[in-house]
Chains A and B, each alone.
Chain A
Amino acid sequence: MSEFQQKCSLVGRDRLADDVYRLTLQAPRIAAHAQPGQFVMVRVSDGLDPLLRRPFSIHRVFANGDISLLFKIIGKGTEMLAHCCLGDELDLVGPLGNGFVLPDEGPVCLIGGGMGIAPLLFLAEQLHMTGRETGNDYVLLGARTQDELTPLDEEFAALGYTVQRATDDGSIGHKGFIPDLLDFILPEMTQVYTCGPHLMMENVVRQCRQAEVKCQVSLETHMACGIGACLGCTVNGKRGLVHVCKQGPVFKAENLEWSLE
């Protein structure tokens, strides 16, 4: 696997909702090697506070060598990132980790909650590019309110996916949680790809298990290095601790420990 440390200039900055941003960066070497589900470590400041890089999924890759990141302001690092200006240079390390394994056969369902949507658009585009018929594939997106979902839901729909939405406030789609939508869809599916809040993924994994549908999950943990050196990013796997940055962030659900009942 090859990864690079690269200074990337900011060529696009969109504010999608109050605290949700999409940044596009010139990152030709990272773009050339990126797989859906992989991530980059971003240095948000040249100074020493915040000190550590922030991990972000690769949201999109463009043929001209640009990549996009989609993120929400959570704390000081993402706050600083949101205030970057066009032309600014950001130091990135990537692409890192193991991405999603593409399906041998369809149909598949992509399930994103909150910023878990980020890696799924890249996955959806890649699946689309393989020339597969996406008409039977589903994308389920969950968020707090409608404005966190647009224009992302339209971008999935434009690729031919059947998109269903769930919002906490019911401002669009189903009022409630994504797993509620799954009962009807799951029996038709051969594989589920999910990224989002842990509780949501736990429910998705349980439903997949009951329906005997394969499931790949993308995990988040606190990371210092992103490349397997600090050993800080562990979670419980079926056979002992696993390192999310190196063995993940995408795992087969059955290889992880879930507190399902």
Chain B
Amino acid sequence: MKKKLVSVLLTTAMAASMLTACGSNGGSAEPAADTAESTETTAEEAATEEATEEATEETAEETTEETAEETSEDTAAAEDVDYGTGEIKIWVADNVVDFTKEQFDKFIEENPQFAGYTATVEATGEGDAAGNMITDVEAGADIYGFAQDQIARLVSAGALEVVEDSNAEKIKADNDAGAVSAATVGDTLYAYPLTADNGYFLYYDKSVVTDPSTLEGISEQCEAAGKNFYFEVNSGWYQTAFFFGTGAELTYDTDNDGNFTKCNSTYASDEGVVALKEIIELANTKSFQNGSSISSATDVAAIVDGTWDAEAAKELFGDNYACAKLPTFTGSDGKEYQLSGFGGYKLLGVKPQEDENKLAVCDALADYLASEEVQLARFNAVGWGPSNLKAQGADEVKADEALTALGEQLKFAIPQGQYPGDYWSLATSLGDSVISGEIPADASDDDVKKALEDFQTTCESYAK
């Protein structure tokens, strides 16, 4: 016991001395008298030095070697059509990994001049791709799929190569206009449109919701059945359904480098007030749940979600599966509005390359993966709605229920442009404030307007 106490005191004393005399001169004040010891320190520190230096030196050598190799390759490539060999790293969403592998093999079959290249396909979520690319562009994928809201961030981080001119013309002609504008930053086309199904609409349970045409009706029917109605109002993406629906605006202008130059917003207006008040009203209904992911939702009777969840929704609702465009709602001013929202796109990007040959292969591959046939094949494999106009016209695409509902909704939606990353977090804060009651259910028009004015000012501050 006593011994233990002594040791407690020792530690305390040690820590106390540490706290009172940080940065004291423990080592350097030692006089040179302690000679035997300092000799040994010399020997060992030298050894340490050795180890680190060796390691660093090695890497230095490697780097120089690499550069040397590259330069020689480059000069060779100028007059040769030999594309050499290499490895292309591709990042796509988990459910299309196998599909993309198959398509790569087909691509090589059709283009034997690229046979020296192999591909590794990794599952990286379209939301994560940008974050990972930006962490280390050089180690990132050569070709990667991403949701369009990331494009400005990727361009300003130098993670996207401009689409080659000849490809660009073809893409502009073949894809729907919204897709092209989604892939454009400033006036430059930076990515290959992959899908045009990044919008949302309503999935619902036929047995509970009999009339999906009005928001109020859906809420009531869900409530009556003790079921939940999911609408992710704390997401900058879903929230716009209300604001754009009443006619409020929020868009950004960008320059060619992905910088935001101007914010056009009319949220702090009567239209904005009607929209936010409707969100408040919805958030305070009993059946309301905030969310948009079918697999983490419980007791769902209706959910505002996108085509990527179509399979999950079919499984969940079984025979009662149904989908429709978003409902209308009666605003606080007594007028009736149709919910709007974003029509968004998934894009495929190519990373800037230090090797022109590899870039040529990547260009060709990205173009192939975004082509009409592959988009159609992808639709058949995993149900992603194509952005290619011809593929959109195909019979099987037209017959798809979810895509039809989305198509209906897209008539009211606004093609999604570029938004700064901060906007999404800010919108989440706005939504959270409504859900938490910080903006109360009985907020006056003035309070609501005040909140929107702050929101708009902050939005404007993101564009410099």
Do A and B pair up? The answer is no
